[in-house]
Amino acid sequence: MRGPERAARLLLLADTHVPTRARDLPAAVWDEVDRADVVVHAGDWVDVALLDRLEDRSRLLVACHGNNDGPALRARLPLVARHDVDGLRLGVVHETGPAAGREVRADAAYPDLDVLVFGHSHIPWDSTTPRGTAVSDR
């Protein structure tokens, strides 16, 4: 995925809701898709067409489905996706529950991860669990 001279470049996305809340991703996001080693999407795609496009354009897509994703997306995407990125144990899930207690729940539910990316909240969230897992809403 990367040479010894640079770290892997990740692009974190979630809650894109294309085409219901936007017709498409912004051009700047598509430019980052092209640059990223790994594109991570934490659910609420809404339509399979965006999944198809991201799969075609991404070097590697790590993605899950969200609560607004219908049967076609759920058939292709897991509830929780995991991938090792150069030794970093990455996971992505849409829903992690209320903000209060999120880090403790993440430790209990995902003891095998170094980083957990989630969506659903529509607010920025970057924290570290008591065990040391990084937790981020894209």
Is residue 132's pLDDT more than 60? yes
Domain that holds residue 18: 10-137
Q: How far apart are CA 84 and CA 113, in angstroms?
A: 9
With tokens 């991703």, the residue in question is 25
Q: How far apart are CA 105 and CA 101, in angstroms?
A: 6
**What is the structure's pLDDT at 5?**
65
Q: What's the whole-model pTM score? A: 0.89
CATH of the domain at 104: 3.60.21.10
Q: How far apart are CA 87 and CA 8, in angstroms?
A: 11
Give the total number of structural domains in the chain. 1
Using only C-alpha atoms, the chain has a radius of gyration, in whole angstroms, of 15
Q: Is position 3 within any domain?
A: no
What mean pLDDT, rounded, does the chain reach?
A: 91
Q: How far apart are CA 124 and CA 117, in angstroms?
A: 11
Q: Is position 1 within any domain?
A: no
Q: Is position 2 within any domain?
A: no
Is residue 131's pLDDT more than 90? no
Q: Is position 60 within any domain?
A: yes
